[in-house]
Every structure is written in C-alpha cells, then in structure tokens.
C-alpha cells in the first residue's frame, strides 16, 4: 500500500474574527495550500472536514458549505468529522487510509474552528479565554474548557500532580516554553509579543493552565507517493496513524476531563489512559520507529497536564512516568534540548479546536522540511509525532524519506 504523502498546506492566522464566517476562513487556508503546492484543484478527489463545535456558524450541514467555499461543488464529496478536539486527528486517520488503500491519489483535509460564536475573550490580558458565550445563561456552557469536570473523581488530578511533584515553578516553565515557540510563528495569537519571564508567571501562581479556543482554519493536501513526486522533492509521509477511544468519563467517571485515568491518578501512580498507550503503540509499530527516534513531539496541550499525559503514555525513555513536568522545567524541550516538545506552542499559539491535529500535522511537516526559522529544531532522524485529545487519542507519525 502507498503511504499518504504531504504535498502542501495552508493556514489562517489564529484570532477572534467576529466579521468572518467559516467560508472565509477555510477558503483562505485552501488558497494558500494550492499556492504552496502548485497543484490543480481539479486533482482533488475527496475532502475531509474537521470541525468543532458542531454549532459553528449555526450551520449543521457544514460539508455543503465547505464544498461551496472552496469551489469544488458536485465534483467531490466532503466527509465531516466532529469529535471535539479529536476531530482533526480522526480526519487525518481516515484521509490517510483512503490514500493507503489506493482508492484516491489526492485528497484534502480541512480543519476549522469558529470559537468566537460560542466563546468570547475574558478581557484579562495575559490570561486564558473563558467560556462567557451565549450558553452561560442556561447554567451550563458545553464549550467552557472545563465542561465535564464536575464529574471529577475527587482528588484525582491533585494526587497525580503530587506524584509528579508539580510546583509553581514547573507550571511557569511550561508557560515560558509555550510562549517561546508560539511568539515566533507568524500565525500565532501572540506572534511577536514579548515572552513573559518565569518570575512573572510565578507571581501569578505559575500562569494560566488553559488554552485559548479561537477562530482559524488549516488545510493539508495528501497524495500517493507517485502523485506527490510530481510536486515536491522533499518526500514526507504519514508513516503511522492511529485512533483509540477511552470509556466515557461522563458515564463512568474514569477520566477527570482530558484523558487522565482518575483511579490510578488518585493512587499517585500514572495519569494517562490505556487508550493513549495503545494508540502510541500502534502508531510506532506502523511507522517502524521507536520513541527515541523522534526529533520532536506535539501533544494536545489544551491544559498544562494533557501534553504530559500523552508524553508519558508514549513511554519515551527520556520521560518516565510522573517526570514530564520536570523534563520541561529542565529546559530539555527547547530546540537545543534532548527532545523538543510543544514546538507549535499551541496553548499560546491559539487552538481552533477542529484544526488542532491538522496544525500538528503541518508543524511536523514544516519542521521536517526545515521551514521553521527561529523555532526550527535539529532534524536528526527525520521523524516527528503528534497526538490530540488524550481521552479519544489520535496520533500520527511523519517520516522524511532519505
């Protein structure tokens, strides 16, 4: 089977664009992807659309709107995926398999978020955005970043943090790292801003622990190897892609909000779920590499613990259980460190939820093509990894052909 190769990509800047709708965002990213790749839009045979939340623009039949926005109506189909932050990961999974099966030679993945329809800025400079949108008056906002946390098993997160010896200094170090990467990316919410110091964050309890759900769109063009060779000399492909699903934490209280195993966390053991372990395992087996072969990793850092949950579930020899926080604090996650992590800095870059995994795919591709300028990491093995939504993990591993 032919692996799926990345041919081109396009992104909008992250932000809060009250005057722009879904069509405006995805068409901008779409046009950029085709300018980058040089392919004819007529080559696209199928589309996957990743979205979150479902009420974006009060539009339920989003596939038809997307088809119209990119001018491919009646020529191709559009498969819509919506599973919160995991949406983009599932779109990547299915689109990659469609290429691998030989059914298609060129497909399109679109991820978008129109979060300002349901979330507005808290107005607190330097802090995260809270759910203050139209659902609040009902007494429950499903888009608030801690929705579902009321079902938390008491003490689970606290005990896991204790087991990890999490300190205010560790949280401050995480925030500085996120800013260090994000301020260098021209599409970030905080591009060009000053990076707050560790001391400034410590004064504020280590800084925010949440990410900014925002507006934005991203597009990736995938193709078979033979097709991709017509448009690029740098052959980078999806070597492994996997998706698993944990039992519902809403129903069984197995998860304290973002993919953590509450009983084991409360016991002071490990916080990641079995789904995270199994997803990474399958992905590495498909790619034919080991964790220590990775040049960089981006995991879903929507709150400070989630990235560590996914990193520890990978079982990288540099980051044993309950040590991810300390690895970040040690400085080893920067480009000059032993293993660059969160190189998109996405908690500060901004998170258009439906585009999140697509952004990780693009970041891995840009790093492997060495297009990242100030935030470029050393490429030793030509392997990058990404994972989103630890309660419903979707992982991918990219490899660069020698």
Residues 194 and 342 placed together within one structural domain of the fold = yes
Does residue 56 sit in the same domain as residue 167?
no
SS3 letters across 60-103? CCHHHHHHHHHCCCCCCCEEEECECECHHHHHHHHHHHHHHCCC
Q: Is residue 80 domain-resident? A: yes
Tokens of residue 164, six digits = 């990890």
CB 298 within 8 A of CB 386: yes
Question: Inter-axis angle of helices 87-100 and 356-368, to 10 degrees?
Answer: 60
Helices (H) and strands (E) in the chain, counts: 14, 9
What's the pLDDT at 54?
56
Any domain includes 362: yes
Whether residue 81 is found in the same domain as residue 152: no
Q: How many CB atoms lie within 10 A of CB 289?
A: 19
Span 346-395, pLDDT tens digits? 988 988 889 999 999 999 999 999 999 999 999 999 999 999 987 789 99
243 with 88: CB under 8 angstroms?
A: no
Nearest CA-CA partner of 220 in 2, 3, 1, 11 = 11
Indicate if 322 and 371 belong to the same structural domain: yes
Contacts of 307 (CB under 8 A, 6+ apart): 299, 300, 301, 324, 341, 342
| CA distances for 346 relative to 50, 164, 185, angstroms | 18, 23, 10
Residue 262 lies in a domain: yes
CB 385 within 8 A of CB 89: no
Q: Do 265 and 192 fall into the same domain?
A: yes
Structural domain containing residue 154: 144-209+239-400
Give whole-number Cα distances, 110 to 158, 309, 395, in Å. 37, 27, 17
pLDDT for res 157? 57
pLDDT of residue 129: 39
Report mean pLDDT in 10-residue bins for the chain, 402 residues.
94 87 94 97 96 64 88 92 90 98 97 69 40 39 36 51 88 94 94 90 83 88 97 96 76 47 62 87 98 97 84 95 94 98 93 93 98 97 94 94 90
Q: In whole angstroms, what is the distance from residue 222 CA to residue 332 CA?
A: 32
Confidence (pTM): 0.89
DSSP 133: S
Per residue in 142-165, pLDDT (tens digit) is: 333 333 333 334 444 566 778 888
Residue 117, pLDDT score: 55
């Amino acid at each position: 089977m032919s692996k799926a190769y990345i041919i081109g990509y396009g992104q909008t800047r992250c932000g809060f664009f009250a005057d722009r709708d879904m069509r405006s965002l995805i068409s901008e990213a779409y046009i950029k992807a085709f300018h980058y790749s040089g392919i004819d839009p007529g080559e696209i045979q199928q589309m996957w659309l990743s979205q979150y939340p479902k009420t974006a623009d009060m539009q339920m039949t989003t596939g038809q709107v997307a088809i119209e926005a990119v001018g491919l109506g009646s020529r191709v189909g559009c498969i819509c995926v919506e599973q919160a932050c995991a949406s983009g990961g599932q779109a990547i999974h299915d689109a990659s398999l469609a290429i691998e099966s030989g059914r298609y030679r060129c497909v399109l993945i679109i991820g978008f978020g129109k979060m300002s329809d349901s979330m507005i800025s808290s107005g607190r400079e330097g802090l995260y955005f809270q759910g203050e949108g139209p659902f609040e008056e009902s007494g429950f906002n499903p888009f608030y970043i801690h929705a579902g946390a009321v079902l938390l098993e008491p003490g689970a997160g606290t005990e896991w943090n204790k087991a990890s010896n999490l300190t205010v200094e560790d949280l401050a170090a995480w925030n500085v790292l996120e800013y260090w990467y994000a301020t260098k990316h021209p599409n970030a919410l905080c591009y060009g801003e000053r990076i707050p110091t560790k001391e400034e964050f410590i004064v504020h309890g280590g800084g925010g622990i949440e990410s900014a759900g925002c507006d934005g769109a991203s597009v990736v063009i995938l193709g078979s190897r033979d097709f991709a060779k017509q448009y690029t000399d740098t052959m980078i492909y999806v070597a492994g892609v996997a998706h698993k699903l944990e039992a519902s934490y809403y129903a069984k209280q197995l998860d304290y909000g973002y993919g953590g195993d509450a009983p084991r966390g409360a016991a002071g053991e490990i916080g990641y779920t079995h789904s995270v372990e199994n997803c990474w395992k399958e992905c590495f087996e498909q790619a034919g590499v080991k964790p220590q072969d990775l040049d960089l990793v981006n995991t879903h850092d929507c709150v400070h613990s989630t990235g560590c949950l996914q990193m520890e579930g990978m079982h990288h020899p540099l980051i044993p259980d309950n040590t991810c926080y300390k690895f970040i604090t040690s400085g080893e996650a920067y480009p000059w460190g032993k293993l660059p992590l969160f190189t998109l800095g996405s908690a500060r870059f901004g998170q258009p939820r439906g585009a999140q995994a697509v952004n990780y795919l693009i970041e891995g591709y840009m790093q492997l093509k060495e297009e990242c300028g100030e935030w470029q990491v050393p490429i030793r093995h030509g392997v990058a990894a990404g994972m989103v939504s630890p309660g419903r993990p979707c992982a991918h591993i990219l490899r660069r052909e020698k």
